[in-house]
Chain A
Amino acid sequence: MNKELEHSFVELLEKHQNIAHKICRLYTNNYDAHNDLFQEITIQLWRAYPKFRGDAKFSTWMYRVALNTAITLYRKSKRTINTQDFEGVAFKIKAEDYDDTEEQQLKVLYKAVHQLNDIEKALVFLYLEDKDYREISTTLGISEVNARVKMNRIKTKLKTILNP
């Protein structure tokens, strides 16, 4: 039974792993830290999995657990400190699609998002993932109105970072 549970979980995670990778990309600066956070997210998902009922979508459930791990539970391990930034790797932009200015703009934008605080990053992440304000508000535990207000403030903040 346990093997079956493990098997079904691993298959689902393999399929939806990109959600966790994207969160790691937002909340960490280097390769080791990325792997470390991914590992912790996997453990938390696996522990919570026996209580996961099929009535919610696995991906929806995963957004919540993974974000909670990144914002609240994750404690940076010692081995992820003092490693080199992989900014260049993390924000690789497909060169053929963009001209210099747009590529440059995206680079600065990703950098700007990285400077936001943990909660702002969570809002931006859910927004980029096309979640509506209802889902954003229930994931974070704030009201829908406040989620909207905060989102607008973040947009203004990004604008000022980009056009000082």
Chain B
Amino acid sequence: MDELDILKKDWNTTKPDHKKLTVNDIYPMLHKKSSSIVKTLFYISIAELVFWIIINTIPYFCSAEYNAKLEAIYQNDAVIVAITIFGYAIIALFIYLLYKSYKSISVTDSAKKLMESIIRTRKVIKYYVLYNLIMAGTSIMVGFYYAIHNDPDISNKLAASGSSKMLPIIAFLILFTSLFIFGIWLFYKLIYGLLLKRLNRNYTELKKLEL
């Protein structure tokens, strides 16, 4: 008889160590709040969506001056409209993808399939964040570019100081933008890393069995 069979004998004969719950104990449990990782992931994704929508929308509402400047820079309403429509289409696409992947998470699937559905959902959020970071990075760079070229104040000062100073300024801008984006990315890595640490470990363990 091996160790597990000794254990099995005891497992099936030992009386339960936990007090037996009655029907009245169980009823209130049905309506308590869940603290599962899927629920947390869901709240994070909603926060993510709202956060980036607000970030993208604030400038339009906050300052008429900013809008006027934007229009002056682009000098073309169609470009702004196109960018705005594109932005909202992407958000709508992500909402749809998120909804679909949440729907596919089923607690009655096998352990491996359940883990895969959760990981897929997390990936959708990851791509959404990545998209926003890339857009933020691009906007910062384009913003600087237009500022240098179109703002008479800045271009005059630059012209006065000569072209030798351009290179360090551009290098600094690129470095600043990359650090900013990288910082936010690390922050996300930390949040999701902590939340899904156990899931990732267990998924790796299951995958290892299939090798």
A interface residues with partner B (beta carbon < 8 Å): 6, 9-11, 13-14, 17-18, 21-22, 24-25, 34, 36, 39-40, 42-44, 46-48, 51, 61, 64-65, 67-69, 71-75, 77, 89-94, 97, 102, 105-106, 109-110, 112-113, 117-119, 122, 124, 127-130, 138-143, 146-147, 149-150, 154-155, 158-159, 162
Within 8 Å by CB of A68, from B18, B26, B114, lies B114
Sorted from nearest, which 8 A-B pairs have the closest CB atoms?
A141-B112, A141-B110, A73-B36, A119-B205, A42-B29, A128-B11, A158-B3, A43-B34
Tell me whether B107 and A141 are in contact (CB under 8 A): no
- In the complex with contacts A21-B18, A42-B30, A158-B3, A139-B110 CB distance below 8 A: yes
For this complex, 21 residue pairs linking A to B, each with C-beta atoms less than 8 Å apart, are A6-B27, A9-B30, A10-B26, A13-B26, A17-B21, A25-B17, A43-B36, A47-B107, A51-B108, A65-B108, A68-B111, A73-B107, A109-B7, A119-B205, A119-B209, A128-B7, A140-B111, A140-B206, A146-B210, A150-B209, A159-B2
Interface residues in B, total, Cβ within 8 A:
50
Asked if B37 is at the interface (CB within 8 A of a chain A CB), the reply is: yes
Residues 1-12 of B, flagged 1 when their CB comes within 8 A of A and 0 if not, give: 011101110111
Q: Tell me, in angstroms, the Cα distance from A75 to B118 when the chains sit together.
A: 14
Asked if B168 is at the interface (CB within 8 A of a chain A CB), the reply is: no
